[in-house]
Structure formats: structure tokens, C-alpha cells
Amino acid sequence: MSNQGNNRVPEQIQEKGVAVFRPELRENEELERFRVSVKNGNALARTKTEIALYAAVCLAILLVPVFLQDAFLLNKYARYLVFGMLAVSLSLSWGYAGILNLGQAMTFGIGSYCMAMMLKLKTIPVHTGADGLPDFMVWNNVTELPWFWTPFYSPLFGVLAGILLPAGVAALLGWFVFKGRVTGVYAAIITLAAMVVVQLVIIDQQAFTGGFNGITDLGQFDVAGFTFDAYGSSSYYLVAICLTVTLFLALAITKSKAGLIVQAIRDQEDRVRFFGYDVALYKIFIFSVSAAIAGLAGMLYTVVMEFASPTFLGVPLSLSVVIWVAVGGRQSLLGAMLGALIVTGVQGALSESETFLDTWTLIMGLLFVLVVLFLPQGIAGAFASLARRFERQRPAPKQAQHAEPIANGREIESTR
């Protein structure tokens, strides 16, 4: 059954290419591009360039501490990288699966809290609250460690929970939403509402979660005796390596069969469903993977920031992620990541001076509106179309024939 389904995907793409002659009917630029590149035999070559590009960027990121020893700056850059990772996770669900998750910070926050709980329990032998309880529990007259805190004594459990718990929560939410065939705007609103609920609960249950203050005064993260200092190159490397791994993992997923089906769902959900695929299952899959990455990013954020706070699950952060991804290009993992680095980097640089701090938000809002209006595919999309233009100007007249209608199609799309 699923085997039969396999053969249908190329067929579907082919049918799309053969049947549509009129450029204005070409609804899907991406698919067209794919078809053209398959025909010209350069799809594989393109994947290779993509991998080389990703590797180059990751290498550059990994080399930063060689040239930079300032602990404060390293900490700041590590923070930006964490945001980059968060952007990758959103790009996966929004750009590739078409699920606009306005609550991406929910899974980020859950991961961050898992790490914080684990690191908090580490401090207990040192700080010794009454009966070895975390300090805020003592202030709230909690007499014994709640059951869901106890397993966090094990660092392994803490790290696993920080990835698996967000994925599980997302799978549950995804099952609830996608099995009911809730899509588009409504799915976006549900993710937003779910995040606010989790945040409200965390704030409300002060005795167990630290409430508004979050969980502060943490121990340092260590693996097998090696301690990751938040203000040192070790934490930076930790974040950079995790980022590299997730970036390539995510890239592999988008190139896998499941990844292709997910993209097909984004473009023509009903058609994929008619071919017999379980659309909801694929959506839940990509939604959970995205959540797991966000959870990992959340954990790293706690390591770098040395606290966890309910603002990590807040609407502002969640919408910031959406901005980064939109600016960078939602349909490019690397673009989304660079979008996060650029926006947060510029923000960080500008907010050092008093006057820019205030105007910056204004500028960012404007920038965002302009990007949505004029660059729906973000910076990465703009670069891709530039690259295509160059490619077209080079010899290959056969290719030019194919490329022309695409440009037309895009023009129509943008003037609609």
C-alpha cells in the first residue's frame, strides 16, 4: 500500500509538468523549479552545492572562538546561535510543512524548564535549602519535592526529557489538531492559545515552577566531568555543534521521502490525501521534530543564560521567531537561521545605544511589514531568484526556455 504510494509522487510531479501549459496556471513555483532541475539533471548537483554552503556557514560559526576570546561576546553569540536553532525548527514546520506555529516558544520553554529543573537540583547539595529543596519551594512552604521533580536528579533524564517532552507535547497537540483537519489560520491560533495556557499554568503554579521569577540560581551543566561554563568557549562550542548537527539533520529530513511528502502536503494537501497518504501522520511527524529541535534550543538557552523564565514561553518571543524566519526565508533552513542571526545581531548591536533601542522596535516592525509585502520568501528567496537569473543568463538556451514561464508565473503571483 505504501509502496504503491511511493511511485505516485514522481507521477504527480510529472503530471503537473505535462498538463500545465499556461504559465498563469502554474500554481507552484517550487514544484516547477524541481521539475526543471530534474529534467536538466542538476537536482543532485544543487543538493551538493547546498550541502557545501551549509558546511561553509557551520564551519565559519565553529571558527569564531578561535579569533574571539571575549567571554561576554561569546556568551552573546552563543545566545544568537540558540535563536538560530529555534528559527531552523520553525522553518521546518512553517516553511516546509505550511504549519504556522505561533507558539513555537512553547516547546522552547518546556525544554528550557527541563534543563533548569535538572540544573537546579544539582545545586541542592551546595545551597542546601531545608531538606534539600530548591530555594523557591522553601519560600513557598513546599515541604517535599513534587513527584515530577524527582526524576530530574538524573542528568540523563533531564537532557532526554528536554527533547522528548516537547516532542511528545507537540505530537499530542498535533494529533488533536491535524486529525481534525484543522489547517491554516485556525491551526496557528490553536498553537498560540496552547502556548499561552502553558505559560499561565507555569506562572500560576509558583510553588512548583518559580512563577514569574522562573528558576534561577542554577548549577552548571556538565557532561562526564567536563563543565560547560556559560561565559566561555565551551558553551559556545556546545551550542555551535548542536546547531550544526540539527541543521544537517533537518536538511536530511527535508530531502528524505517523508520530507518531500510533507512539502507536497504544504502545497496541495487534498491531492496528497487522495493518493492515500495519511496527511495527519506526516504533519504530526514534522511538527514533533520541529518541537524536539526547539526543545533542544531551549535547553541550550538555559545553559547559556543560566536561568529559565516564563517569558521564554511568551508571545513576544514566539512572534520574534516568526519574524526571523520570515526575514531570512521560511523555505530555507539556512536562510531562517541566518535571518535569526542577522535580526538578533542587529538588534543587539543597536540596543547598546540608548536612542536606537527605542526606534529599533519601530524599524523592526516596519521591516517586517515590508518583508511580508515584498519578499514573501525572505532574503533566501531573493538570493535564490537572483541565482536563477544568473544561471539563466549563462549559455544553456534550453534551460532559458523553461525558466521564462516561471518568471511569468511569479510575476502573476506577486501582482495578484
List contacts with other proteins (CB under 8 A).
100, 102, 176-177, 180, 182, 184-186, 188-190, 193-194, 196-197, 200-201, 203-204, 315, 319, 322-323, 326, 358-359, 361-362, 364-366, 368-369, 372-373, 376, 416
Q: How far apart are the first and last CA of the chain?
A: 40
Among residues 147, 131, 101, the alpha carbon closest in space to that of 291 is found at 101
CB nearer other proteins, residue 100 or residue 303: 100
- Shortest Cβ 200–other proteins spacing (Å): 4
Residue 34 C-alpha cell reads as 524541481
Pair type for strands 226-227 and 222-223: antiparallel
- Shortest Cβ 365–other proteins spacing (Å): 4
CB nearer other proteins, residue 43 or residue 182: 182
- Shortest Cβ 402–other proteins spacing (Å): 26
CB nearer other proteins, residue 177 or residue 299: 177
CB nearer other proteins, residue 177 or residue 253: 177
- Shortest Cβ 152–other proteins spacing (Å): 24
**Residue 222: phi, psi to the nearest 5?**
-140, 150
Do residues 305 and 217 touch, judged by C-beta distance below 8 A? no
Alpha-carbon dihedral angle through residues 139, 140, 144, 146, given to the nearest 10 degrees? -120
- Shortest Cβ 22–other proteins spacing (Å): 19
CB nearer other proteins, residue 57 or residue 188: 188
Q: In this structure, which long-range contacts are made by residues 207-213, counting pairs with CB atoms below 8 Å and at least 24 apart in sequence? A: 207/136, 207/137, 207/140, 207/141, 207/142, 208/137, 208/142, 208/146, 208/148, 208/149, 209/113, 209/310, 210/136, 210/308, 211/136, 211/310, 212/310, 213/136, 213/309
- Shortest Cβ 35–other proteins spacing (Å): 24
CB nearer other proteins, residue 75 or residue 101: 101
- The DSSP string of 127-185 is H--GGG--HHHHHTT--S--TTTGGGGSHHHHHHHHHHHHHHHHHHHHHHHHTTT--HH
In one-letter notation, the amino acid at residue 229 is D
CB nearer other proteins, residue 93 or residue 246: 93
- Shortest Cβ 251–other proteins spacing (Å): 24
CA distance 125 to 346: 41
- Shortest Cβ 164–other proteins spacing (Å): 23
- Give the residue carrying C-alpha cell 522528548: 164
Would you call 44 exposed, middle or buried from its count of C-beta atoms within 10 A (0-12, 13-18, 19+)? Answer: exposed
CB nearer other proteins, residue 52 or residue 197: 197
